[in-house]
Amino acid sequence: MSTPINPIEQQELKNVPLQVITKLLMVSRRLSESSELSAVLSTVIDALRDLLNAERATVFEFDADANQLFTQVAHGISKFGAGVIRIPANRGIAGAVAQSKEPIHSPDVYADPRFIQDIDKATGFRTRNMLAIPLIDHEGNLIGVAQVLNSLHGPFTIQDQEIALGLSAQAAVAIRRGRLMEDRVARERMERDLQAARIIQQSSFPRALPPMRHWQVAAASIPAEQCGGDAFDVIPLLQGLIVEPNVSPDEIVLLVADATGHGIGSALSAMQVRGMLRIGLRLKQGVRRIAEEANRQLCQDLPMGRFVTAWYARISLHSGIVENYAAGQGPIIHYRRRENDFITLPTDNAPLGVMIDDLNAESTMITMHAGDILIALTDGYYESEGKDGHQYQELPVLDLVRKHRDQSADFILRAINESLMDWTSGVPAADDRTAIILKHLPA
């Protein structure tokens, strides 16, 4: 059936021919020069097949997380469309080798109950005999199992086994190096993609704020990762049309959007809300209607458990009237200068993407008088934890706004950010932080 290989028997081996040793040295050099995993695997199976005078060879890599052996580089599997073959790490002859970390010679595989005949059926190949060798790295970790199939000179010999064992150690180290390089390349590619996504996202935010008499806007977004799940916008309108930032508008539209989580997926959702807002304004729709249509679209697009909270505001710069519409985004705080108090605006609507046709509340209309300030911060501010584990919450923000009410919107936002940095002792943000401060200046 099968014959375990006893290392003691190596003392009785005949000398390996010089030409075989020469080939082994050439293969060893090729393995040391290559860091591409697919090239390493191809070199290993070709060397095993040629040095042992066999029909085919296969290398099963070990997936420790899934406890599986898998191969995508083997003689013959692509020809028959078998693709990647995966088996449990305790099944088959390869599984037995993986468990014992000892090589096995099976001179008649169909008489061996451990042999998986399904692979032959999938590939259309007929295996007669097999030599299976564990691939162990220098730290004793299982990297995979190599199989050499169908010796052309009868059963595999002790000399074949010795050659395979000599090659397996070099192969294991080369495969591990190839995996590490492959992981590194994948990380670098992901980092480049994240950086590109960050640049695209940041460039979509307003680069310049429109010139406005008697009004100031300060806005910023600080992502917790390379790509944030927040978005904001400041859109100038003149006679109902979007205009360039250098044109003095008669209205502005503000947006703060906060998607669940952070990273690329959340960034895409938040930016989708921003894009739909601009399209809706170009079609001369009101913010409530835009929010309703965005909600319907996100209900169709987002997977279960994902949503976006959003705050929309349309401000008439002449009258100071603000149309406020919040879909789960809050608190939105209105500081009234004359009364020296704070009003929290309603945020009754559900977040976007939760339930279709569930945005039933009407817009809230308020008037901002001279000296009034509107504050919209995402929960990345309010939920930031200090050294004692307590959250920042709203009170420090209210105190700072009241204290610096006669300063510019930029000054107030800087003061809030500096206060938050002191609160968190400069620890990087655990969640995205996005803010808009709107101030109506005295005439």
CB 49 within 8 A of CB 148: yes
Check whether 11 has a pLDDT greater than 50. no
282 residue type, one letter: R
Return residue ranges of the chain for CATH 3.60.40.10.
205-440
Average pLDDT for 211-218:
93
Q: Report in angstroms the alpha-carbon separations of 280 from 9, 104, 241, 251, 321.
A: 80, 69, 11, 15, 20
pTM above 0.85, yes or no: no
Return residue ranges of the chain for CATH 3.30.450.40.
3-184
Q: Among 385, 321, 324, which Cα is nearest to 349's?
A: 324
Check whether 80 has a pLDDT greater than 50. no
Average pLDDT for 103-131:
89
φ/ψ of residue 64, rounded to 5: -65, -35
Tokens representing 246 are 């250098």
Q: Among 47, 45, 43, which Cα is nearest to 35's?
A: 43
CB 326 within 8 A of CB 363: no
Average pLDDT for 57-74:
85
Q: What is the length of the chain?
A: 443
Tokens representing 348 are 């009754």
pLDDT band at 17 (very low <50, low <70, confident <90, very high): low
Write down the number of H helices and E strands in the chain.
10, 18
Q: In CATH, what class is 3-184?
A: alpha beta
Q: Among 283, 289, 438, 282, which Cα is nearest to 366's?
A: 438
Cα–Cα distance, 69 to 61 (Å, whole number): 5
Residue 74's pLDDT is 66
Residue 174's pLDDT is 79
Peptide bond into 331 cis (omega under 30): yes
pLDDT band at 75 (very low <50, low <70, confident <90, very high): low
pLDDT digits (tens, 9 = 90+) for 383-434: 999 888 899 999 999 999 999 999 999 999 999 999 999 999 888 878 889 9
Average pLDDT for 346-350:
82
pLDDT band at 4 (very low <50, low <70, confident <90, very high): very low
What lies within 8 Å, CB to CB, of 420 at 6+ separation is 381, 384, 392, 396, 433
Residue 160's pLDDT is 86
pLDDT digits (tens, 9 = 90+) for 277-319: 999 999 999 999 999 999 999 999 988 888 999 999 999 999 9
Residue 19's pLDDT is 60
Residue 299's pLDDT is 92
Tell me the CATH number for domain 205-440: 3.60.40.10
Check whether 41 has a pLDDT greater than 90. no
Cα–Cα distance, 359 to 365 (Å, whole number): 17
DSSP string, 53-115: TEEEEEEEEEETTTTEEEES-BTTTTTTT--SEEEETTSHHHHHHHHH-S-EEES-GGG-TT-
Residue 13's pLDDT is 40
Q: Among 40, 22, 17, 16, which Cα is nearest to 30's?
A: 40
Task: Give the mean pLDDT of the chain.
Answer: 84
Residue 78's pLDDT is 54
CA atoms 289, 293, 294, 299: torsion sign: positive
Cα–Cα distance, 198 to 194 (Å, whole number): 6
